[in-house]
Amino acid sequence: GPSPPPPARPLSPWNGVAQPGTKIAALEKVVDAMRGAASPSAIPAPPPPPARGGCAGAEPGDLGQALAAVAQRLGCSPGGGAEGEIWEAKALELELRAARREAARAQETEAGLRRALGDAETEGSRLDERLAAARAALAEAEARLEGEAARGREARGEAEAARGEAARLRARLDELEAAMRGVKEESEAAVAELRGEAAGLRVQLERLRDEAGKAEAERARLEGEARCLATANAALGADLAAAVAQGAEDRRAAEEREALASEAAARAQRAQREAREAGEAARAAAAAADELEREAEGAREEARRAQRAAARHAAAAATAQAEVAEARSSREGADARCVALQAALEAARGAGAEAERRVRAAEEESEALARRARDAELATDRDTEVRALRDVLDRVTTAAQAGARELEEARHGLGLESEARQAAQAEAERLRAEAAELERRARQLAEVEAELEAGRTGLEARRAEQDGQRR
């Protein structure tokens, strides 16, 4: 706020004028005493001339001192006569008039000084108010300057961060460009590899065509062999059926022979029994030979007949046993032939099945080769060839699809990179514009700071001037 007014100081003489209220009062008292006095001795003697700087009498150079000097030169002394008194009274009147004029001038001067002091105090108050306003404006400007400086620092930090981000984006862009070049090189290498694989596939197609021709010839040969095997299988089936029928007939003949042999054996056993009975009868007859000599001859004859019959029966039994052994051997041979025929039939069936399997495999392979050959022949361009050879060349097709996907991803990545590059360029332009705006604001702040410094200097100069005026 405005500073308090300085304390009132006593007025000092101005240009030889006495201080009001002192000399005038003394002169008035002297004049009244001179007019009211009855004798000249009642008028008091004038005081001696005071030293310079006094405040009760006249100062050197005043009108009173001049009149006193004139009175002394005229030989007038206090109490010396009426003429001296008159001169002194006139001198006092003149001095009183001069003192009044000086008092009026002093009052005017005092009034002027008081008006000047009031104006100075008013001006000081206005200056104090303006100084306070200037101080407030200065504080506000300093606060605004601090805020602008803080915002400038923040803007510089943001600019640095933006530069770092731009550098990072530039590095990322370089990395993406390097990756794009790598992907392009890989795609070119993949395209070259696919072209080489396509050439290899064409060679493989030619080889497959040759193999298809060979497979067709092999198929024809296998079909001939299959027909031969079918004929042989039919012949083997007929032979097996004939062998089975012959085996059945042989088995029936062997069974009949076994039956005959069994019957002959039974007959031989019966003959042996009869021979044993005949021997017993012969022994009975020999025992009774002594008794029956005539019957002995007959008995001997009967014995001889029985022996002959036994010999015949023994020969028949031997023949039957030989026939049984022959039948058994023929049966075993028939069984062996049946087993061999069954083994041959099984082998023939296995060979036929193997031949049929080989024929089916050859037919399937020939059909696959023919289908691949037809698909390869139908493939005229690269896409049709890739579609036709997709079943045979899954790996190459998968690799091609993977390469295409990678190429699409690379293209998409290139698109994203171009978008990112454009966004980065736009962001860099925006950051450059913000940096330029911040620099412009920094320059404005510097100008404001310079103006504030100039205003502060002017205020200090005016304050010094006011202090000098007050002093």
Cα angle vertex 426, ends 422, 431, to 5°? 145
* Two tokens, residue 463: 């304050």
pLDDT at residue 246 in the model: 75
Angle of helix 394-470 relative to helix 82-287, nearest 10 degrees, comes to 160
Residues near 197 by beta carbon (within 8 Å), at least 6 away in sequence: 393, 396, 399
pLDDT at residue 57 in the model: 43
Rounded Cα gap, residues 367 and 369, in angstroms: 5
Rounded Cα gap, residues 100 and 240, in angstroms: 185
Structure-token match 């896409």, residue found: 383
pLDDT at residue 18 in the model: 45
Distant-in-sequence contacts of 104-108, Cβ < 8 A, 24+ apart: 105/17, 106/14, 106/17, 106/18, 106/19, 106/20, 107/20
- Cβ pair 106, 20 in contact under 8 A: yes
pLDDT per residue, tens digit, the chain (471 aa), is 555 555 544 444 444 444 445 555 666 666 666 555 434 444 444 444 444 333 334 444 455 565 566 556 555 444 445 566 777 777 778 878 887 888 888 788 888 878 877 787 787 778 778 777 777 877 887 788 788 778 878 877 887 887 787 778 777 777 777 777 776 777 677 677 777 776 777 777 777 777 767 767 777 777 777 677 677 667 766 776 776 777 677 777 767 767 776 776 677 677 667 767 766 765 665 565 566 566 656 656 765 676 676 566 556 556 655 655 565 565 566 556 656 656 665 665 666 566 566 656 656 665 666 666 566 555 544 555 545 555 555 665 555 566 556 556 655 655 555 565 666 667 667 766 776 776 777 677 667 667 767 777 777 777 788 777 777
Q: What are the domain boundaries of the chain?
A: 198-388
First to last CA, the chain: 21
The CATH code of the domain at 198-388 is 1.10.287
Structure-token match 């790598």, residue found: 182
Structure-token match 């990395």, residue found: 175
- Does this model's pTM top 0.95? My answer is no
Residue 8: strand, helix, or coil: coil
